Amino acid sequence: MKKLLLFLCLIFCFQVSAQEDVWVFIKDKPQETSFLSNPTLMLTQRALDRRSKLNIPLDSKDVPVDEAYYNQLNNDKTVTVLGKSKWLNAVHVQGEVAAINTLMSNYSFIASIEFANKSLNLNGKSKGKTITPNHYNKLNETLTDFNYGATDNQIKMLKGDYLHQQELTGEGQIIAIIDAGFPNVNTLDAFSRIRDNNQILGGYNFADRNDNFYTRNSHGTHVLSSIAAYIKDEYVGTAPDAKFYLFISEISETETVLEETLWVEAAERADSLGVDVINTSLGYTTYDNPNHNHTYADMDGKTTFISRGAEIGASRGLLLVNAVGNDGTQSWKYMGAPADAASVISVGAVNSSGNIASFSSFGPTSDGRVKPEILGQGQNPALIDYSSGEITTSSSGTSFSSPIMAGLIACLNQNEGFLLKASLKKSGENYNDYLKTAIYESADKFKNPTDQHGYGIPNFETALNSYIASLSLIQDELINFKISPNPVQDRFTISTDDFEDVSIQIYTILGKKVFEKAVVTSKNIDISFLNTGIYMLKISKGNQQKNIKIIKQ
């Protein structure tokens, strides 16, 4: 009995002294008003312009974690700060359980604490389905007008060549690649075109906290090649004229929950720089510490830290594209996070003939949503080998179907040129939901999705035409909504007789809502209570929206 008690004591002492990862969620942001009054302290002008175009006002999620709160935690000798997220207003710390449990009583600004080990949370979930860690699989890679050369099949399968023929080649779009490393992108000839044209705008190595992003695992180099590499008459990426930020969030030699936090930090950085599309060929289900493993129940798009961050990113106007995973033949066959997030475009893999790749992970999400949504060539696609710079087809994985798709999505999103020429672009419209719908509905299994195919292989020729048609319909129905007089003293009149399903909101130029009328029944709107200044009127009719700038005298 004494030996047993001693053994149990040793186990208990080990558990108490073990270092645990935890997210500390903070109650407020005391400097919120100051930051919202000076938005360029948070976002670049390009990011602000993108928000304006997509009709997305600034809010508290854009405000950084309070520096004073962060410094107090960072100076606390009982824990180690590893990362932070402004979107989730959280700080990632590591420490002993006893020390972490005292944080709530020591700091009044803490709202809640969430252990990566769910059993340590008061509302911890049961462990659910058992998962065996597989570090190699987390990078989703296994061996195995343009003259497109080697990329002909993977582009034409998706009718991506049609986008290029319409001069939609990614020009004006910024794509962020969040991955494991980008060695030799700064030297290989296949990337000389994007280097010479200054299409690499910068990046950051979150894994090592430094500016050297041409390092670490070669996975990111291969991923980037499918979008950006160019060898005349031999190889063309899917968005050869886009610009790029390269971010390292993955620490390939280990698997820890810190990588979820680093991904969110990278996505936040991308948003602040005005990025349009993010590709992530990473996915998270299992960790070195099995107590941190996710279960199938967690794959609901709103449980894991990374998926919660992804949803906020999408709400900021980012188009998020993610590999669904390579676990289709494993006992755990499902997608990983953040591919489970509702707003993330999750991509599975097919072979060169369009048949499903057996390794491509399955859906649905645990709450029953279709995943993956779409498929591209991930089995033996053409890539640029990071060491030799030669074209290779020896690798497979949804890691590569995802960036192939992300490049074409950026081309479709290239609306500043084509849609303007077509007289369809209208300031203030949020195109992202219409763009995703057009892609999904163009896929070959849209009417009969399956757990592994999702909606199937999209057709970007069909998607482009549907996208334009949907924007045209929005313009036709809302074009007659006007107000007068403008400038306004006390009241303005809406010039329409059709108020069915119409609501209005008024925002300050900093995005603060100051007036809302959920059901509009009168043409005359009283705003005499508003201060003199410039406001934005948002008129909504169903899922359609129009913005009108108001000058209040």
Q: Is the dihedral of CA 177, 181, 186, 190 positive or negative?
A: negative
The residues, ordered by sequence, that sit 6+ positions from 286 with a Cβ below 8 Å of its Cβ are 131, 132, 133, 134, 255, 293, 294, 332
Please choose, from the candidates 466, 463, 472, the residue with its C-alpha nearest in 3D space to the C-alpha of residue 425: 472
Q: Could you tell me the CA-to-CA distances from 295 to 70, 137, 158, 366 in Å, in that order?
A: 31, 17, 33, 10
Q: Which of 219, 222, 292, 294 is catalytic?
A: 219
Task: Return the amino acid letter for 93.
Answer: V
Number of Cβ within a 10 Å radius of residue 123? 6
Cα–Cα–Cα angle for 349, 355, 360, rounded to 5 degrees? 30
Is 219 one of the annotated active-site residues of the chain? Answer: yes
Q: Which of 502, 503, 518, 513 is nearest to 536 (CA)?
A: 513
Tokens 């482009």 belong to 464
- The catalytic residue among 179, 241, 327, 340 is 179
Cβ(287)–Cβ(293) under 8 Å? yes
List strands edge to edge, sheet with 174-179. Answer: 200-205, 243-248, 174-179, 277-280, 319-323, 345-350, 374-377
Q: Is 217 helix (H, G, I), strand (E, B) or coil?
A: coil
CA-only gyration radius of the chain, Å: 25
Burial of residue 396 (CB within 10 Å: 0-12, 13-18, 19+) is: buried
Choice among 85, 226, 343, 399 that is catalytic: 399
Give 142's strand partners.
396
37-40: which pairs have CB atoms within 8 A and are 24 or more residues apart?
Answer: 37/510, 39/510
Look up residue 318 and give its two tokens. 């980012």
Residue 405's nearest CA partner among 452, 359, 442 is 442
Question: Sign of dihedral through CA atoms 167, 170, 171, 172?
Answer: positive
Between strands 391-392 and 383-384, the pairing is: antiparallel
Distance between start and end Cα atoms, the chain: 85
- Integer Cα distance of 361 and 364 in angstroms: 10
Under a CB-based contact definition with an 8 Å cutoff, are residues 64 and 43 in contact?
no
Q: What is the DSSP letter of 67?
A: H
Active site residue 399: yes
Beta bridge partners of residue 23, listed in sequence order: 92, 114
**Distance set, CA 94 to CA 76, 82, 227, 553 (Å):** 11, 7, 37, 54
Positions annotated as catalytic residues are 179, 219, 399
